[in-house]
Amino acid sequence: MDPLSDVLSLLKPRSYSAGGFDVGGDLSIQFPRHEGIKCYAVVSGECWLAVEGVADAVLLKTGDCFLLPSGRPFRLASDLALTPIDARTIFANKQNGSVHSFNGGGDCFIAGGHFAFTGSHAGILLGVLPPIVHLQKESDKAAMRWSLERMREELRESQPGGFLVAQQLAYLMLVQALRLHLAEGSRGGVGWLFALADRQMSAAITSMHDDPGHGWTIQKLAECAGMSRSTFALKFKRTVGESPMEYLTRWRMLLAGDKVANSSDPISAIARSLGYESESAFSTAFKRVMGCSPRQYGRGGKRESGSPSTYPGEGDAASVHQVEGANQLEAIAD
């Protein structure tokens, strides 16, 4: 797999709500803090998006897609001067995969999904993203158009299996939005996600992900990138935010954590598969990165409260924990 697919697979994202709402006339809705990431798009019409802590509100127009990865409270409104209504009071008890209509609908239709992460270390993805990812270029809208049209059809026309299709379409929208953000928003960004937009850095990162147990050295990775050793090391640190060996160790430990938690493989076998001949050396690296020993981690140690392990560029991203239980709010209100 490619690095973005690797990270998404490791985090095990699941959509625990997919749906939308159709607004007619004026309305302002205040949404509470959320965990995970929200990915929605304006299928028709337009509205304002205001996120707590972000100075300027964003005008969303037809075809625009937006991601909200920081978990901050936000407001959607036809007019920001209107007194907002608490989303928890108007979306309570709505079914997942449905459309909520206000004032007969017809002026602004928004659809998408809200994703939780059942894997640990959500900050790997969420931490490198800004509070709002707003995709508004015409080329971006064209890339999202098929998914949006299919989502609208599935939500408006009840069909067998419609809920599952809506969830998968929401996930497709999320991946496509991340791709587009990577393609257009990489200028000046620091972190593994932005580094993927650079051909040379992407070649090195992909090599590490393709064979994490290989005996990588800076020289070997530089050869993958087609660069000299010194130039590669400097550019990698500047682009990714940490050295190639630090990145490799962290990625190995994240893979190890997933294996420890979700497989019956012995620690020694996991260590060997990731390039460690000594179980003690592996355990030392694991504890340094993950905050506890492999055996403690396997018993749910640090995963219970969220691992301290972070990736460069995470900033003040909200800590994301596992989300359990039944859904209480519909689609975008979750």
CATH at residue 18? 2.60.120.280
| Domain endpoint, select from 185, 219, 241 | 185
Across 209-213, 306-310, 320-324, least confident range: 320-324
Across 71-80, 256-265, 271-280, least confident range: 256-265
Residue 327, domain member (yes or no): no
The count of domains in the chain is: 2
Residue 218, domain member (yes or no): yes
| Domain endpoint, select from 150, 185, 220 | 185
What local confidence, expressed as pLDDT, does residue 228 receive?
Answer: 97
Are 218 and 137 part of one and the same domain? no
Domain with 127 in it = 11-185
Residue 315 pLDDT exceeds 80 = no
Residue 207 and residue 221 in contact, taking contact as beta carbons nearer than 8 Å = yes
Residue 329, domain member (yes or no): no
What local confidence, expressed as pLDDT, does residue 305 receive?
Answer: 37
Across 65-74, 182-191, 221-230, 315-324, least confident range: 315-324
Mean pLDDT of 182-202: 79
Are 75 and 219 part of one and the same domain? no
Residue 27 and residue 82 in contact, taking contact as beta carbons nearer than 8 Å = yes
What local confidence, expressed as pLDDT, does residue 191 receive?
Answer: 83
Contacts of 70 (CB under 8 A, 6+ apart): 51, 126, 129, 130, 131, 316, 317, 318
Residue 87 and residue 29 in contact, taking contact as beta carbons nearer than 8 Å = yes
Mean pLDDT of 293-311: 61
| Domain endpoint, select from 138, 169, 185 | 185
- The residues that bridge with 28 in the sheet, in sequence order, are 77
Q: Which of 12, 15, 1, 49 is nearest to 331 (CA)?
A: 15
Are 110 and 166 part of one and the same domain? yes
Are 35 and 178 part of one and the same domain? yes
